[in-house]
Structure 1
Amino acid sequence: MKLGKIKKYVNEGNRISVDYENGKANVYLVTDEIVRFEIPCWMENYASVAIEGSKEKPCNYKVYDIDNVICIENQNMKVKISDDFFTEILDAEGKKILSDYRGERIIQRTLSDKSKKELAAEGHDVSNLEAHNYKVQIIKEIGEGDCFYGLGDKTGYLNKRDYAFENWNSDIPQIHNENMPAIYKSIPFMIGKTCDAVYGLFFDNTFHSYMDFGKENSNYFYYGADDGNLNYYFLYGKKMTDIIREYTYLTGRTGLPQLWTLGYHQCRWGYESADDIRAVAKGMRDNRIPCESVQYDIDYMDGYRVFTWDDEKYGKPGDLISELEKDGFKAVVIIDPATKKEDGYFMYDEGVSKGYFATNPDGSIYVNKVWPGDATFPDFGREEVRRWWADSHKILTDMGVKAIWNDMNEPASFEGPLPEDTVFEINGRITDHREFHNVYGHFEGIATYEGMKKLTGKRPLVITRACYSGSQKYCAVWTGDNQSIWAHLRMLIPQLCNLGMSGFSLAGTDIGGFGADTNKELLCRWIEAAVFSPFFRNHSAKGSKAQEPWKFDEQVMDIYRKHVELRYTFLPYIYDLFYQGLETGLPVMRPLVLHYEDDVNTYNLNDEFLVGENVLVSPVVEQGATKKLVYLPRGTWYDYFTGQAYEGMQYIVKDAPLDVCPIFIREGSIIPTYEVVQYVGEKTYDRLILVTTPGDASYDHFQDNGEDYQFEEGKYNLYRFTKTEDEKLVTELIHEGYKKYEKIDIRRL
């Protein structure tokens, strides 16, 4: 994308437009911390899917020209724009944060033509042995020791340095290994950490795109896309937490979930009748394992027709749901976007009559095979289609359904991918599958969220497999079809931490693994590792070994129960973190580097995490291990179970037999906890138990009805607990709008 020499620039409001010999570029001062860079090589005035509404704020800055270099300067940074739209960004003191790479793309590996031919003859892909320049492309310098975080739930390790990925939502049935280019989600946001700076980059382009963090060449990282504009945002901050705040300011923050949705969920593709669902629900209650829902996978539908119910296998619509609701179980059902092509089926007939399905270029309805057989695909980019889909959920809410789980929305299809020229719309603009693919699940999520919000009046739980940046405003996510293998248990921590740093706080994995067969040790270690994952669900595949804990032995039952009860103990703390996230954008589950970014020991720490700032969890994720090497950052940390104190900035070895997950509480902490219940709503939470550690502490605790939007009208309590060195606790009610706790107790570690 060679634009040539600068001819002139024009400064209007928050925009600096630069005319070049071979085109033009724009720089937007969105806020004092966010700068947008754009080459409108595809479309003028592109409207973002991820960013809703104007985010521009009045900015104080100046623009001037020095030797044909345009300088844009504000209180935080200086941006230098040169010929060919080369950019360099410096902090207020003049220290370089990030700069474009001025060389050519060169793969740092040498291979003779003979070797390439031999590799190709044996069936190896040799296309990655040559640098491929993309239609849209930007290359940035890498410094020695630079680290990269974010990108959503890409596979592999926490730090993405030396790896390459693609943004193309993909339903891949094979085992997801650490260098898988793409899986279900496209979240082209990254946090860069240099030796003395941090920054964020959000590449807002929904076409198939590519991100390489030094794998091709250790001198640079690059972003490329098959089409669209060069359109990216630079986010300035002094700390990584600042970057997350800015990114979620742009793309939106996870809403406050209903309290029950943070409890335990049980699911299996293979509960094929009402009796199967009843048996699992009974097993949960008989074995005293707290549980909120036994979720309904695709088997509950009549022939996999969306918004239907199989009366023959599951009984009269609503009866089973009502029966189980009396014992505290909330109905969560799956919905796929693929709509069966069948005359007489109401969803298909309505969609055809109103022209709601994606089409071929000749105007005929596009058809592919999915679970119901021949199926059509609603064009969710159109507002009227989203309203239709949203309203269709009344069929389910009338039965008593409380939450929706969107699956197969990459969109997945059985007879090859949708052709690139399949026709869609994005809010009135005709486009094709190339642009729309990565946001198909995003728009379906909006429709589902709006429907459930309107129909129930409660905060919706919409769980989605596929999505794009900004979907966190509407959806919870899980990492898709993982496997019952130790490698996927280990991947849980970096995946969920990177999702959290990418805005998706309400995220989880399938506990025990979805595909293949789990075993006693793996299931125990998985429930321990997942106990603080924000979305907390056990899910397995038809044909795999059953993962209900009573299908194993008493030891498994006891360990499983212990850790599910632990989750319910910490519910108010987790809920508080979601409330705080409304303001900060920070996730519940966090890598240690997020709060200890000056500690090199945290940069590549893949097997432990923080819950908020005050709780450190270091689960065992290696087969056969009964001890755990734990890194404790600065400060003093207290073993949650024994109260033993450990000084930080060191590694310790903790005994970790099969029933123990090492958990530590930071010095100067106040952690709100509840008594264990079998489900949220079993009884009123009228007693709060504060777990405290020595040292001065202050903590704000949020309390409301845990269901709807009344808190936005002031119907909530906000407590402030303050503790000094003499261990006296002072309680203030800094906002009162809800029924207060009857009792507040203290448990000192």
Structure 2
Amino acid sequence: MFGKIIKRNIEGSKVFFKFENGEGRIEVINPFIINIFSGLKYDDHYSRAIEDLKVENCDFTVQNKGNYIKIKTDELEVRVYDEFKVDFYDKNGKVLCEDYKGERDPFIRRGNGSIAEGEGHAVEANKEKHKIEVVKKIFGDEKFYGLGDKTGHLNKRGYGYEMWNTDDPSPHVESHKSLYKSIPFFITLREDCVFGMFFDNTFKSYFDMAKENSNYYYFGADDGNLDYYFIGGNNICDILRRYTDLTGRTPLPQLWTLGYQQSRWSYAPETRVREIAKNFRENDIPCDVIHLDIDYMDNYKVFTWDNEKFKDEKKALKELKEDGFKIVTIIDPGVKKEKNYNIYEEGLKNGYFATDKDGVTYVNKVWPGDSVFPDFSEEATRKWWGENQKIMLDAGVSGIWNDMNEPASFNGPLPDDVQFKNDGRNSDHTEIHNIYGHLMAKATFEGIKKHSGKRPYIITRAAYAGIQKYSTVWTGDNQSFWEHLRMSVPMLLNLGMSGMSFCGTDVGGFSFDCTAELLSRWVQVGTFTPLFRNHSCIRTRDQEPWAFNGETLNINRKYIKLRYKLLPYLYDLMWKGENTGLPVMRPLVLHYSNDKNVYEINDQFLFGENIMVAPILEQGKTYRSVYIPEGTWIDYWTKEKIEGGKTILKNAPLDTCPIYIKAGSIIPNYPEQNYIGEKEIKELTLDIYSGNGEYEHYIDDGESFKYRDGEYTLYKFSIEAKEETIINVRKVNEGFKVYKSLKVVYNDNAKEVYFGNNKIEFVENNNGIEFNIPAEEGTIVIK
């Protein structure tokens, strides 16, 4: 395609190449990140994922080595060949990633496919060429992680995917090539190296992870630029930090958004919403959020209320909020085409809607019937949409749930030639489709931030890379199947490995009818999922915690209360994630990549670095094998100590989810509460497991951006276990209120306890001791 290298020249951080048949450039973003670019459509990036590309001023050399050009930073070596083939090496000359030098050669597909298609089977083509293709050599030991919430196992090797945001309500299975999100980023782990690859192209793109031939993997696109970033590092944590340096990180959410959330299509009318709220309080189950699906609206018109179902929505939402319930309302992009409907009339007057190729506003059908679609690719439209969020905020709404924003439509998909202004670059649906939901979420985020002054809470179904800056995500319309519970774990883990920390699934499943056992096991996973929302479909059986029987109710109560107990630990993880890019839910391979046993573990995960969860994901199972990684781990329920590097068999009756705590961990706990903010937390509990370790605990006002100006308090705890256990308590920053006291739960034996020069009385429990001290700096000595 490119031909031979004719010449090259250096301008700042860029090395420009002129080939026989085109041009390209290599840009050194920093010593670890290299951009490979050719302006096949546009002369620059125009990225929707990377909004503030920071190029570091760093040294690099360029040498002509005969058959290739060598570009060397302090950490990486890049070799550029004819045909714009690009290889990557570490600073010591070890090959990390090579372009495949041969032609694509898919395995043979035998037989007459049309016969199988006649019976309804999907038949894949032998070979599909794409305008842009980057083909990389397989060395043999590659494992691939990331690519968003694609179906299948954690390791994506052997799978093929498409990036084309798709509303597909059929049961999601491993053969699904595309779902609601397009996250064209993956991490390659080899036995002695790791790197990331981000293909920043919003057109329909393709990722074949050695599916069509075990000698190579490739990514490509139908249009756009050749534009990808190679990200080097020493471990997966490095790769995630640098990828999120590029695309952004999940900002610290409001604390209440980490509480339990209840949803259904639909809680309407108002009396039903109040009934749900009443049941939570009467059944002693904590809950912070109730979601309203499309039936709260007037004839499905966005930014309206049905005044028959909700006679006074402001009064209702105010009273619900007084009882601790925040209301999140769904908002779809489809605007009803209706005369005198102000949202439609304003958008039409100002040219805010997408058009056909003749400039006529494009119309398709969604819930309201004939609908038009805001052109979120244009800044003026985004500002207008953001201003409309005030309508919902003024009604008392606390968050916005963006759905149907692939965009979904009922009279077939939007045609490729639907026109968008694209911030002055004029484009069509083929380029905007994958970023439509992303830009809708951005507009919503900026509007809520402007009109509330609080950290916006947005949930989106459709997304593109970088969405983590603006919205939490969920995996879309799953089913109340055991297979979907099983598959949700690697889906969420790969979302985390794609920069998206604040994510979740519909607990219990959306479609089909849930069972008592399935909900009991799913809520155990949901307890450790950043977005913890039970959601179900119209005409399915009730799925609330009390909807089955007393046993199911008790299990839901037990685990939802455990979630609230662990809230300070989860909030700490979100705070750390804003600074590091690390997710809340983590595959074991993230921290134990030198252990070959963890590469393919799909059914257990880390909650931060200190807690490991091994849920039951199969019907009727009351035991399971659990892999214990290196180190000492403590069974959360029994306090049994287990040495790592082995597999154990764990009994797990229906009310038990196997949970393990890493030795040397300090886990902060909150007291029981019905909702966030019900009571002022004056005492923090420290759940301590003997060993060596450090922990930082963070507190702020839980809702504003003042923490970015230093209005927070940060505690630093350390534990050292020798003949006696030494626990140090320090305040690294004191810009917000502090606790009055600390309750220490020490999960081991003790004879004496001292804090400073004072001997502290303690009480024994079944597994250790408990005592209280002032929340002051000092040293605890446990003998």
- What is the TM-score with the length of structure 1 in the denominator? 0.98
Match of 2:140 in 1: 144
Residues 235-261 of structure 1 deviation map (CA, whole Å, 9 limit, x = unaligned): 001101100001000000000000000
1:35-81 alpha-carbon deviations (Å, 9 max, x no partner): 00012112212311100123211121100001131000111111100
Q: Could you say which residue in structure 2 is the equivalent of 1:103?
A: 102
Give the match for residue 733 of structure 1: 731
Cα contact 1:6–1:68 (8 A) shared by 2: no
- Whether the 8 Å CA contact 2:354–2:375 is kept in 1: the answer is yes
Aligned position for 2:559: 563
Quick check: 1:15–1:27 contact (8 Å CA) kept in 2? yes
Which of 727, 741, 744 is equivalent to 1:743? 741
Q: Distance in 1 between matches of 2:157 and 2:300?
A: 42
Aligned 1:478-489 pairs, distance under 5 A: 478-489=474-485
53-62 or 176-185, which moves further after superposition? 53-62
* Counterparts in 2 of 1:392 and 1:116: CA distance versus 1, 3 Å: closer
In 2, the alpha carbon distance for the partners of 1:303 and 1:474 equals 28
Matched to 1:211, the amino acid is F
Percentage of identical aligned residues: 50
The alpha-carbon deviation at position 326 of structure 1 amounts to 1.1
CA displacement, residues 180-227 of structure 1 (integer Å, 9 cap, x when unaligned):
000000000000011211000000000001101011001111111110
Once the two structures are superposed, the pairs formed by residues 152-551 of structure 1 within 5 Å of their partners are 152-551=148-547
Change (3 A) 1:481 1:358: same
Inter-CA distance 287–116: structure 2 relative to 1 (3 Å threshold) = closer
SS at match of 2:218: strand
| Equivalent-residue separation in structure 2 for 1:543 and 1:373 (angstroms) | 21
SS at match of 2:30: coil
CA contact (8 A) 1:213 1:221 kept: yes
* Structure 1 match to 2:604: 608
Structure 2: segments with no counterpart, 5+ residues:
748-783
Within a 5 Å distance, the mapping from 1:524-673 to structure 2 comes to 524-673=520-669
* Secondary structure in structure 2 of the residue aligned to 1:503: coil
Deviations 1:702-726 (A, max 9, x none): 1111110111111110101122212
Counterparts of 1:76 and 1:564 in 2: how far apart (Å)?
A: 46
Amino acid at match of 2:327: A
Whole-Å separation in 1 of the counterparts to 2:272 and 2:567: 29
Q: Kindly tell me: are residues 503 and 554 of structure 1, through their superposed partners in 2, closer, same or farther at Cα, counting changes over 3 Å?
A: same
Provide Cα deviations, 1:152-182, integer angstroms capped at 9, x if missing partner: 1111110000000000000001000012000
1:125 shift after superposition: 4.4
Q: Secondary structure at the match of 1:724?
A: strand
Amino acid at match of 1:45: D
How far apart, CA to CA, are the structure 2 residues paired with 1:414 and 1:243?
Answer: 40
Q: Name 1:22's counterpart in structure 2.
A: 21
Contact 1:465 1:480 in 2 (8 A): yes
| 2:426 alignment partner, SS class | strand
| Corresponding residue SS for 1:550 | coil
Give the corresponding residue for 2:720. Answer: 724
The verdict on how the C-alpha distance between 1:139 and 1:643 changes in structure 2, with shifts beyond 3 A counting, is: same
TM-score with structure 2 length normalisation? Answer: 0.94
Deviations 1:532-563 (A, max 9, x none): 10000000000011101211111111100000
Q: Which residue does 2:39 correspond to in 1?
A: 40
Pairs within 5 Å for 1:4-153:
4-111=3-110, 115-116=112-113, 118-120=115-117, 122-126=119-123, 128-153=124-149
Quote how far apart the aligned CAs of 1:426 are.
1.8
Q: Secondary structure at the match of 1:314?
A: coil
Contact 2:266–2:292, Cα closer than 8 Å, also in 1 = no
Q: CA deviation at 1:329?
A: 0.4
> Structure 1 stretch 493-502 or stretch 129-138: which is displaced more?
129-138
> What are the Cα deviations for residues 603-660 of structure 1, in whole angstroms up to 9, with x where unaligned?
0100000011110000000111000210010000001111110010000111100000
Amino acid at match of 2:37: E
Change (3 A) 1:116 1:397: closer
8 Å CA contact 1:356–1:378 kept in 2: the answer is yes
Return closer, same or farther for 1:175/1:125 CA change in 2, 3 Å cut-off: closer
Contact kept, 8 Å, 1:205 with 1:228, in 2: the verdict is: yes
Cα shift at 1:728: 3.0
Structure 2 Cα separation of the partners of residues 671 and 117 of structure 1: 59
**Counterpart of 2:218 in structure 1: which amino acid?**
Y
- Distance of 1:122 and 1:482 partners within structure 2: 26
Letter in 1 for 2:7: K
In structure 1, C-alpha distance between the alignment counterparts of 2:178 and 2:310, rounded to whole Å: 37
Q: Secondary structure at the match of 2:313?
A: coil
Counterpart contact for 1:442–1:467, Cα < 8 Å: yes
CA change 1:538–1:117 in 2 (3 A) is closer
Instruction: Give the conservation status (yes or no) of the 8 Å contact 1:38–1:229.
Output: yes
CA distance in 1 between partners of 2:457 and 2:439 (Å): 16
Look up the SS of the partner of 1:565 in the other structure. helix
**Residues 181 and 462 in structure 2, CA contact (< 8 A), matched pair in contact too:** yes
Deviation of residue 120 (structure 1)? Answer: 4.8
CA distance in 2, matches of 1:121, 1:655: 48
Query: CA separation in 1, counterparts of 2:453 and 2:701?
Result: 13
Distance 2:45 2:736 in 1: 45
Which structure 1 residue ranges, 4+ long, deviate > 3 Å from structure 2? 115-126
3-state DSSP class of the match of 2:49?
Answer: coil
The residue type paired with residue 74 of structure 1 is T
Distance (Å, rounded) in 1 between the aligned partners of 2:594 and 2:396: 50
Q: 1:92 offset after TM fit, Å?
A: 1.3
Q: In the alignment, residue 586 of structure 1 is paired with which amino acid?
A: L
Contact 1:38 1:230 in 2 (8 A): yes
Asked if the contact 1:167/1:209 (under 8 Å) is kept, the reply is yes
Per the alignment, residue 705 of structure 1 pairs with 701
SS of aligned partner of 2:398: strand
SS of aligned partner of 2:186: strand
Q: Secondary structure at the match of 2:92?
A: coil
Query: What amino acid is the match of 2:392?
Result: L
Look up the equivalent residue of 1:95 and give its one-letter code: K
In structure 2, distance between residues paired with 1:208 and 1:461: 29
| 8 Å contact from structure 1 (residues 107, 129) kept in 2 | no
Query: Contact conserved, 2:625 with 2:650, CA < 8 A, in 1?
Result: yes
Alpha-carbon distance between aligned partners in 2 of 1:619 and 1:53, rounded to the nearest angstrom: 40
Name the aligned partner's letter for residue 384 of structure 1: A
Tell me if the contact between 2:268 and 2:292 (Cα under 8 Å) persists in the aligned partners: no
CA shift at 1:277, angstroms? 0.5
Q: String of CA shifts for 1:717-739, please: whole Å, max 9, x gaps.
A: 01011222122322111111111
Equivalenced residue count is 745
Asked if structure 1 preserves the Cα contact closer than 8 Å seen for 2:499 and 2:582, the reply is yes
- Letter of the 1:483 partner, please give it: Q
Give the AA of the match of 1:727: T
Could you report, residue by residue, the CA deviation over 1:478-509 in whole angstroms, capped at 9, with x for unpaired residues?
A: 00000000011001110111101111100000
